[in-house]
């Protein structure tokens, strides 16, 4: 009994330590310490899109003749381990960071191209003006908006409903909808 209690306390301590760990500073290409090769492979396979049972089955080379309930229970135990969950979170955080950086780079690239077009004297003035308009919209400075371009609708839902009913009634009775 003392050995199992000691293991539980050690697991609780390591789970608390993992919870405090800032996973963003860890290299996602390297597994967390303490994961076996099969646990790492299971986490990678799950992260790649497989369900937990199939990830477990492939990582642990479980045959198709093994009962699905047995594999499911083993997969549930594996993916409930704090270190496996932490590894999956680490992989997800790394992917999020990479996607964020890609989006930022794409945005900067597009803005750079628009700015280049806006000041390219070889382009037609209309194309340069359009580039400036686009740049103004992206930057939130829509200087080219006229008073009639206001997209905000100040009507209440009840007013809109009354107008729609009136127009529908007019159309159904043979009138025109341009009232």
pLDDT of residue 150: 57
The model's pTM is 0.48
Tokens of 178: 């341009």
Per-position pLDDT tens, the chain of length 179: 455 555 555 444 444 454 444 444 445 566 556 889 999 999 999 999 999 999 999 999 998 899 999 999 999 999 999 999 999 999 999 888 888 888 788 888 888 888 888 888 898 888 888 888 887 777 666 555 555 555 567 888 888 888 887 877 777 776 654 54
Task: Give long-range contacts, CB 8 A cutoff, 24+ apart: 42-45.
Answer: 42/75, 42/78, 42/79, 42/84, 43/84, 43/87, 43/88, 43/91, 44/91
What phi-psi label fits residue 34: left (phi over 0), alpha (psi between -120 and 50 degrees) or beta? Answer: left
Q: What is the pLDDT of residue 144?
A: 55
Which residue is it, tokens 């340069």? 128
Q: What is the pLDDT of residue 13?
A: 43
* pLDDT of res. 125: 86
User: Which pLDDT score is estimated for 139?
Assistant: 66
Domain ranges of the chain: 2-94, 101-146
pLDDT at 133: 80
């Amino acid at each position: 009994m003392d050995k199992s209690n000691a293991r539980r306390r050690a697991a609780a301590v390591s789970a608390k330590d993992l919870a405090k760990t800032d996973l963003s500073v860890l290299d996602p290409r390297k597994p967390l310490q303490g994961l076996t090769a099969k646990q790492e492979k299971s986490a990678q396979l799950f992260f790649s899109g497989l369900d937990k049972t199939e990830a477990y089955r492939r990582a642990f080379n479980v045959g198709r003749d093994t009962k699905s309930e047995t594999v499911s229970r083993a997969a549930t135990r594996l993916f409930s381990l704090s270190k496996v969950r932490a590894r999956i979170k680490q992989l997800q955080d790394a992917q999020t960071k990479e996607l964020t950086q890609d989006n930022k780079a794409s945005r900067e690239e597009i803005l750079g191209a628009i700015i280049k077009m806006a000041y390219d004297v070889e382009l037609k003035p209309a194309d340069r003006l359009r580039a400036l308009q686009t740049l103004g919209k992206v930057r939130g400075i829509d200087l080219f908006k006229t008073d009639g371009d206001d997209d905000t609708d100040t009507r209440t839902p009840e007013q809109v409903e009354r107008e729609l009913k009136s127009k529908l009634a007019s159309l159904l009775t043979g009138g025109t909808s341009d009232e």
